[in-house]
Amino acid sequence: MSNVHAVGSTSEDTATTEDTATTEDTATTEDTTEPIVSVENLRVSLGGTDVLHDVSIDVPEGRLVGLIGPNGAGKTTLLRAINGTVSIDSGRVTVAGVDAATCSSRRLARLVATVPQTTTLSFGFSVRETIEMGRHPHISRFGAMDDTDVAAVESAMAATAVEALADRSITDVSGGERQRVLLARAVAQETPVLVLDEPTANLDINHAARTLELVRDAVTSEALSGRAAIAAIHDLDLAARYCDELVLLADGEIKAYGSPEAVLSAESIGSAFATEVAIGTDPVTATERVVPRATVPAGAADTDCYVHVLGSGMLARETIARLAETGCSGSVGPIPTGDIAAETARLNGFSIVDAPAFRSLSMTVKDRVRARCQESDAVVVTEAIDSWQRRLLAGLDCETIAVSGGPTQSTEGSPAGNADSVDHRCSVEELVGELFDRDET
Amino acid sequence: MGVRQRAATYSAALAVLLAVVMTVSAGMGPVYIEPIAVTKVILNAVAVPVGMTLSSTPISAGPLQAPAIELVWHAPFSFGTERVHEQIVLGVRLPRIILGATVGFALATAGTVMQGFFKNPMADPSIIGVSSGAAVGAVAFIVVPSAIPFGIGLRGAAFVGAVVTAFLVYLIATQSGRTPVATLLLAGIAVQAFLSAVISFLQLYSGESLRQVVHWLMGHLGNARWGDVGVTVVLVPALFVIILAYGRDLNVLLLGEADAKSLGVEVERTKKILLVLSSVITAAGVAVSGVIGFVGLIVPHMVRLIVGPDHRVLLPTAALAGASFLVLTDTIARTALGGSDIPVGVVTAALGAPFFLYLLRSREVHSL
């Protein structure tokens, strides 16, 4: 990507109108205070239905902006308004100071490159020929590809790792490979603005991440200022990880706009996607992670059930996740705030009785745990218990169950010392059945 | 190899093939003439301008008299040839051969454009009703000559019919500035069906002239004279050059209209230009030859199998191949049954279809 130039520097068109256009473009892109893409009060209707109403966003240069939102939210339409392929009803879209709706296709194609969701190529062009089509707006009608064009195509192919496919027919490569070819075509177009519609939809995890890295590097590169990218991304976790800003679209309106941390809240995502979600933090990338909650099948579980989980760590985490999935509410503790089970509990709406690690429990904590247990319909023990806990369990009226690790472990496994203190023992997998079977009898 | 080199290499090879086919064809007929003798006759007829001279007769008769400039021609070759051969080759066979080459060139060009434009392997030059329009014009002229005004003649009537029909189909398919390709295709089919009805009706009441009508509808190149060749020979190459300049746009249009627009193609304008050019080039062909089917459909396919789908290479190669193909089939048409002509349209279909089927079966055709 290092030899991607601002649009002004590569244009070799000699027509006077194009020359003036180029000068203007350069002037605008150098002005760093101006947003490179500006959408004002955009309204678009397709087939009589309002798809976008009153959408306004400004994309400053150097940003990768992610468009998120449910199916039919208007993401693709917004992208198409920016690349000039949909006619707008009212409002204004400017790219590098140029009105996208009224300028010539050729001029806009030197400002905005598009990676479409898919392409329909009815005849067997080779991958290289397809990528060369990205140079179309840079070559005059009677001209041919010159060294600049060839170099742009070569570096785009290298950046997107499609060199190995170069001589294969575009109709013979896989869907994911085709998507990378389309990205290469857009990169070869060498425009300040890149518009991507679901660029990772068909890609494997490696290429999905590499695609977004490539785009992010392209827009944030210090050598090339005045660039930005807007991508409709389905995968919210990828969006949170790679985008500088997110735009949440739903019902043709912008519901939230800002940093991923600000936009990805359980409320905004939940209402936009009409589902309940939990927003956690990815343990690897430390970026936001959106997890939709399982929809509880009607009658499958007693959703009033309240369960206290006595324990911490991985097994407690699995237990909580399993309980939450069936619609149970509950609590966990005593547990240190940084424990992985605490995170899972928080995301699933379980209350936490927190206690500092490596210290004996204070009276307050013990009282709080006892209170939680007494309120519960059942208490699930996930680790070896001490004498205080043993006494606590003995004094409870409710059902007590000890769980042990995954399917590979026997039910006689880890909480070995609990055998005499609890009513039942089972694995995490069996827990739900165990709980509700007892409830019914 | 770059696209231009590829286009130039293939075109040069096909141009040589065309020259050979034309030369051999000019020797074929009731009087057989050796290709060498034909070559000599043709070369003798070649004249090149070597200079200019001021004519003694001024252009205008008024007070401001500009002297006319005349080219001085020089014939570089003067081989010894038989006079009767000169008359046969130059006077009888060559006009028909050149007309055949030009019509084949035009039909193959238009077919290539239409297949790319419609992204449909079934598309041919007549898909938007050009041939039907030409047929209505021609048949109307044959059956009721008084119905055709301005004394434009059979060819004029066919040409006007073709262009008017194409324009009509375009108007029907256009709504608020956009011409969806699918609508255009369907409008073309509907108009063709209507025009066939008109032709059938005219045929029914054609009486004595039925034979002439059928002959025209089957497509023929017979009785061409130098005077008939003139307009077509000038018009077709000129239109072809403009179409060739849109080769890259045609490639990009194959990606779909939204993609093409985002790659800088002014989609609606380009579509309009391509439609006008290919309609007029088809009209220029069918007006002089009648409806010759199959050339515009199969020649682009055959050539695409060899040179690939890039229109910058495909357009010139398909055009040259179409020219050779029609000269070849017309040679068969006028020699196969001794003295009597078979309509060339019959030969193109009879030979082209099996050859195309052979290609389909023998090569893995998956990218049409």
Give the tokens for residue A64.
Answer: 């990768």
Q: Which of A284-298, B78-92, B110-124 has the highest mean pLDDT?
A: B110-124
Average pLDDT over residues A237-248: 91
B182 at A interface, C-beta within 8 A: no
Note the pLDDT of residue B65: 66
Q: List CB contacts (< 8 A) between A144 and chain B.
A: 2-4
Task: Please indicate, yes or no, whether residues A204 and A342 belong to a single structural domain of this protein.
Answer: no
**In terms of residue numbers, what domain contains A410?**
306-440
Note the pLDDT of residue A265: 84
Task: Please indicate, yes or no, whether residues A268 and A343 belong to a single structural domain of this protein.
Answer: no
Would you call A171 and B366 a contact, using CB atoms and an 8 Å cutoff? Answer: yes
Q: How many distinct structural domains can be found in chain A? A: 2
Cβ contacts below 8 Å, chain A against chain B, sum to: 92
Note the pLDDT of residue A68: 92
Average pLDDT over residues A299-311: 73
**Residue of chain A nearest B258, judged by CA positions:** A85
Q: List CB contacts (< 8 A) between B263 and chain A.
A: 109, 133-134, 136-137, 189
Query: In CATH, what is the architecture of B3-33+82-362?
Result: Orthogonal Bundle (1.10)
Q: What are the sequence ranges of the domains in chain B?
A: 3-33+82-362
Task: Please indicate, yes or no, whether residues A233 and A327 belong to a single structural domain of this protein.
Answer: no
Secondary structure E strands in A127-271: 193-197, 228-232, 245-250, 253-258
**Residue of chain B nearest A195, judged by CA positions:** B262
Note the pLDDT of residue A77: 92
**Residue of chain B nearest A114, judged by CA positions:** B262
A349 at B interface, C-beta within 8 A: no
pLDDT tens figures, B6-34? 899 999 999 999 999 999 998 888 888 88
Which of B301, B303, B329, B314 is CA-nearest to residue B100?
B329
Task: Please indicate, yes or no, whether residues A196 and A233 belong to a single structural domain of this protein.
Answer: yes
Task: Please indicate, yes or no, whether residues A198 and A150 belong to a single structural domain of this protein.
Answer: yes
Q: In what order do the strands lie in the sheet with A399-404?
A: A351-354, A329-335, A306-310, A378-381, A399-404, A424-427
Lowest mean pLDDT among A207-221, A297-311, A399-413: A399-413
The position carrying tokens 């996607």 is A273
Count of C-beta atoms within a 10 Å radius of residue B210: 15
Note the pLDDT of residue A431: 80
Q: List CB contacts (< 8 A) between A125 and chain B.
A: 251, 254, 308-310
Last residue of a domain, one of A291, A326, A344: A291
Task: Please indicate, yes or no, whether residues A347 and A275 belong to a single structural domain of this protein.
Answer: no
Radius of gyration in angstroms for the set of CA atoms belonging to chain B, rounded to a whole number: 22
Note the pLDDT of residue B244: 94
pLDDT tens figures, B79-116? 777 888 888 888 888 889 999 999 999 999 999 999 88
Backbone dihedral angles phi then psi of residue B72, each to the nearest 5 degrees: -95, 120
Q: How confident is the model at residue A413 (pLDDT cuts 50, 70, 90)?
A: very low
Residue A414, pLDDT > 70, answer no
Residue A9, pLDDT > 50, answer no
Would you call B263 and A189 a contact, using CB atoms and an 8 Å cutoff? Answer: yes
Lowest mean pLDDT among A8-17, A310-319, B290-299: A8-17
Mean pLDDT value across chain B: 85
Q: pLDDT: is B77 or B89 the higher one?
A: B89
Mean pLDDT value across chain A: 81
Calculate what percentage of chain A has a pLDDT beyond 90.
Answer: 22
Q: Side chain identity at B38, as an amino acid letter?
A: V
Residue B326, pLDDT > 90, answer yes
Whether residue A252 lies inside any domain: the answer is yes
Whether residue A23 lies inside any domain: the answer is yes
Would you call B309 and A123 a contact, using CB atoms and an 8 Å cutoff? Answer: yes
> Is the complex ipTM higher than 0.90?
no
Task: Please indicate, yes or no, whether residues A39 and A83 belong to a single structural domain of this protein.
Answer: yes
The position carrying tokens 């170069």 is A166
Residue B144, pLDDT > 60, answer yes
Q: How confident is the model at residue B64 (pLDDT cuts 50, 70, 90)?
A: low
pLDDT tens figures, A108-167? 999 999 998 877 766 778 899 999 999 999 988 888 888 899 999 998 998 888 999 989
Task: Please indicate, yes or no, whether residues A111 and A153 belong to a single structural domain of this protein.
Answer: yes
Residue A247, pLDDT > 80, answer yes
Note the pLDDT of residue A188: 92
**Beta carbons of B3 and B37 less than 8 angstroms apart:** no
pLDDT tens figures, B285-320? 888 888 888 888 889 988 988 888 899 999 999 999
Whether residue A2 lies inside any domain: the answer is no
Q: How confident is the model at residue A302 (pLDDT cuts 50, 70, 90)?
A: low
Q: List CB contacts (< 8 A) between A135 and chain B.
A: none
Domain of A283, CATH number, reads 3.40.50.300
Residue B251, pLDDT > 80, answer yes
Would you call A121 and B251 a contact, using CB atoms and an 8 Å cutoff? Answer: no
3-state secondary structure of B178: strand
CA A86, CA B183: separation in Å to the nearest integer? 19
Note the pLDDT of residue B178: 82
Q: List CB contacts (< 8 A) between A110 and chain B.
A: 264
Q: pLDDT: is B141 or B228 the higher one?
A: B141
Task: Please indicate, yes or no, whether residues A163 and A261 belong to a single structural domain of this protein.
Answer: yes
Q: Which of A165-174, B39-48, B185-194 has the highest mean pLDDT?
A: B185-194
Would you call A125 and B4 a contact, using CB atoms and an 8 Å cutoff? Answer: no
Task: Please indicate, yes or no, whether residues A133 and A257 belong to a single structural domain of this protein.
Answer: yes
Q: pLDDT: is B352 or A103 the higher one?
A: A103
Q: Which of B262, B305, B307, B313 to mutate to probe the A interface, most A CBs <10 Å? A: B262
Task: Please indicate, yes or no, whether residues A78 and A160 belong to a single structural domain of this protein.
Answer: yes
Would you call A129 and B261 a contact, using CB atoms and an 8 Å cutoff? Answer: no
Q: List CB contacts (< 8 A) between A122 and chain B.
A: 119-120, 254, 368
Task: Please indicate, yes or no, whether residues A230 and A256 belong to a single structural domain of this protein.
Answer: yes
**Residue of chain B nearest A119, judged by CA positions:** B255
Count of C-beta atoms within a 10 Å radius of residue A399: 18
Residue A271, pLDDT > 50, answer yes
A82 at B interface, C-beta within 8 A: no
Domain of A408, CATH number, reads 3.40.50.1220
Average pLDDT over residues A41-70: 90
Last residue of a domain, one of A238, A265, A291: A291
Q: List CB contacts (< 8 A) between A141 and chain B.
A: 245-246, 248
